[in-house]
Amino acid sequence: MKIGLIGAGRLGKLHGELLTYHIPEAEIKTVAEIYADDVKGWAKQLRILNLTTDYSDILDDSEIDAVLICSSTDTHAQLIIEAANAGKHIFCEKPIDFNIEKIQHALNSVKAAGVKLQIGFNRRFDHNFKKVREIVESGKVGNVHIVRITSRDPAPPPLEYLKVSGGMFLDMTIHDFDMVRYLSMSEVEEVYAQGAVLIDPAIGNIGDVDTAIITLRFKNGAMGVIDNSRQAVYGYDQRVEVFGSKGYVEVKNDFPNSATLSTVEGVISEKPHYFFLERYKMSYVEELKAFVDAVAKDKEPPVTGNDGLQPVLIGAAALKSLRERRPVKIQEVH
């Protein structure tokens, strides 16, 4: 299978390497990157033969079956439309867009073209979260009553990034909005978002929050709560639990090693992974494998366009709730 990579920034390069080294059934034929010169050496090392500044070279290439859209968020919706029109199957990094209409417009194009679309919510493919889902699916916790997520990053992104990121709910919590749908096996009906600026006043100055607690109601009667922080000094803290009528399942963080040292001082062990790639590398591999597999076997991708839309709706409802200081139903923003 031949693939075109659009956007070779940090995430794009990651996808490119992982696909090259871990997925023999597919290969990157062409990379389209505005700053093509910057990635010449990188492309050469991966033995990627074609490098261009114009993504049309990919869309026009009949040899290419699918594209990975890893460019900046503001280009996603348009690229999806064009790629769909060109008959390419599409893997697109999250989010599709911050604007709900634009998202729906892009999804319509995909539907009309009959191509496959997978959204890059990689955490679904993480060994821990995937296992929680399997356990919930198997009925072992019974009817879901409470879904709890703690989701804290080691440090906030630069202010410049935050300004254009859509805010905490659409940049960071969006992963958790996807995760609650994945784990509850239901849809969010209502959101109540409480936020604060506790880490860096500058974040408040640009109209964002850095700490939040978001309560949810699901269609199936269950309830959920997400607590976020932009700064957990000890590392990536992503713990989830699903509690139900038959019990509960939870996962811990991932650690570089399991060494535990006991001295007069106490019992000391390793902090969770601090670096993003250490923590999630395998989930990126698995989501790419799933995409290639869906294309190869003509199956529905495991994370669909609608899965890309719903978290943005929930995020919009959360934003409205935060501002108006009241619970907001999803219908209000859809």
- Map the footprint of its own copies across residues 203-242, applying CB under 8 A: 211-213, 215, 217, 221-225, 227, 229, 231-235, 237
109 or 151: CB nearest its own copies: 151
254 or 332: CB nearest its own copies: 254
Residue 243 in the binding site for its own copies (CB under 8 A): yes
Q: Which residues pair with 90 in a beta bridge?
A: 67, 117
3-state percent breakdown (helix, strand, coil) of the chain, nearest 5: 40, 25, 35
CA distances from 270 to 127, 149, 195, 280 (A): 20, 22, 30, 17
Please measure the distance between the N-terminal and C-terminal CA atoms of the chain and give it in whole angstroms. 37
We find the least distance from the C-beta atom of residue 91 to its own copies, in angstroms, to be 21
42 or 50: CB nearest its own copies: 42
Q: Which of residues 28-57 bind its own copies (CB under 8 A)?
A: 45
State the virtual CA torsion across 195, 199, 200, 203 in degrees, nearest 10: -30
71 or 229: CB nearest its own copies: 229
Residue 1 in the binding site for its own copies (CB under 8 A): no
Residue 127 in the binding site for its own copies (CB under 8 A): yes
- With CB under 8 A as the contact rule, the residue among 143, 205, 306, 331 that binds its own copies is 143
We find the least distance from the C-beta atom of residue 275 to its own copies, in angstroms, to be 14
Q: Which residues, 6 or more positions from 45, have their beta carbon under 8 angstroms from its beta carbon?
A: none
Q: Which of residues 258-277 bind its own copies (CB under 8 A)?
A: 258-272
Block residue for tokens 């916790």: 141
Q: Are strands 266-269 and 237-244 parallel, antiparallel or unpaired?
A: unpaired
Q: Which residues pair with 211 in a beta bridge?
A: 196, 229
- With CB under 8 A as the contact rule, the residue among 5, 251, 309, 316 that binds its own copies is 251
Q: Which amino acid is at 181?
A: R
